[in-house]
Chain A
């Protein structure tokens, strides 16, 4: 770094002086940070292992469960917390050693990281000379960081899918897959203790999926026409002023939390639907699929309209000019040229909206009810997959009962369904995409 004598010497360097600084900083920090992270992760186990080794023979050979309790006690005593059972000499001795090891470990850690930092700095110092390609090295390291960041999302997804998959497999060991997939009766309440009164439980998921489908269908019946027409109006017909007001308002609609929609559905729309139904002589449950579906449709309108709007605006204006130049009216241009050209984008948007509707929970929890009715009547209460997952996992649960594990099986099914939808959506989009490129 003494070589950097100013602008006159700057030209002799391979990279800008700053890059040599970054390079040195990386060498100082990265190895030290890596060691720090590892140490923090491994330290508790190491100390526990050492403490256990120092225990008398009798305690060391205790079964795993009891040994765990003992270690817990030692740790609590060391931290000065309340201890279960009596405190004897062995325990205090172990606790003292635990504290000693902790202090020692901190000291070693401090020395190690500082030393590594210094070592890194000296390695960097030795490697830097005017021809050294610091810029390329720094960029390589940045590249690695980018890859690491993107793999976090990928590995998390894989991890979630695998954990759901394994739990679902455990569920299918208790309940046959055919019963789950084709059973028409859903009543997951099982007795947790032997002396409890409870049904044996039945896990037919069909009513849940029909419920989900029913509500999604109602939601899409509301959202697709309204959203699409909104998009057509905003993209092709509205003046700039109307567009300037309407677009942000729609975005506000998209920003309302779903829980707000939920109580809106439960407290306003559901009673209204019920009264309207009664006035026409129909019997409507106070929690109905119709109410939930209507509100969910309203919630999805901004999603459909903004994605369709994007798709319509993405159609090259040359198409518009061409159609107008042949003597089409604006509506003919829209329906015969622009909509067909924008269709893949619109279909993609609608499929995204369907995925959103299937996964939506809050509105259905509040407005659609919990009864797993197998029905296509929108005036009855139905329940959906997501609602059942919520109810299965809320409250005290036993982790290995079929009831709890059923949530994972439902989650897996939901994941598979939305995945299939997305794959179909992407294929539709790809099939028609190249048409106007």
Chain B
């Protein structure tokens, strides 16, 4: 292995920084190490941002997959508006920044020894560890449903192969068929997205299989931007009429408890049975698996953190960002993960350089596309109140219900640009 000029300059910077600190001999050891687990939006953004803030820190990203498929815009794949390849990203942008990307699965973290072990048998040491493990499913919450069954009854709540399965099922479903979507109770990734999905599927059915229906059996009694969704469904899909393409039933009675795979039937808490050609079963969620095995989750199944740094309140030196952490009232969204990753990257580099982390401003953005030239958005900007560990939404809001057709059309175009820019900002 030859030393690159870049690496040399980098090392030089580290040595000079440390030599002034009065502990020059420490500089003779290795560079400071940040290891990031998870190559989704949060982990990838964190890796990039740390490199941009302080090139003297070694950054390693552990991610088993070669590609990442964004969940945002994956509903547009279902209706055929986008190709699956348009939501696929890889790690060449990170590698170009001299970030060490290891395609392996992190299996264990030992917080008191600051070590990570991988499935491939590697052991990595870190000064700070950031985990962005995304979500895991509570398979046990639905009797008869598991990871294997999900290949036939896709959740499509992690994009990629699951998206493709659902898209293919829609393509081969006969006209007059029924699509059932079952949103879960509890905190979840992209809480507005089941309803955007229903809209995108209805948009597809309206054009190609207009005698079909989308039925939503929802464990929740209400959902985000409900009024805007209902308004769009009324305008576009006849919602509320006998011939509506979408029907929504929500409340604890409608929660799914059992799946009968043989008859394509869901059974709700109330004991009702509903049969569909396609069952899009979205199970209840919790923080990605490694968070629980490393002892970073609380009884809610999510990770409590100090929101100034995203450091775990349960284990020092480990930071959790993205869907897995508790950062209410921010939503579990790609944009939120990107925003948290930036704050975390700044905090972690500050801590390693002996400085106090600066005050962060957080942003999340969700677009919901209903059909052609009909998109609405919800944005939020959040700050930490001084001396507290809670976020306050200081600005934001949704598209107004009286928005003009021009407004909705522009939001549709902005959604496309937002996708381009968010992914560029994340993957490089």
Asked if A and B are interacting partners, one says no
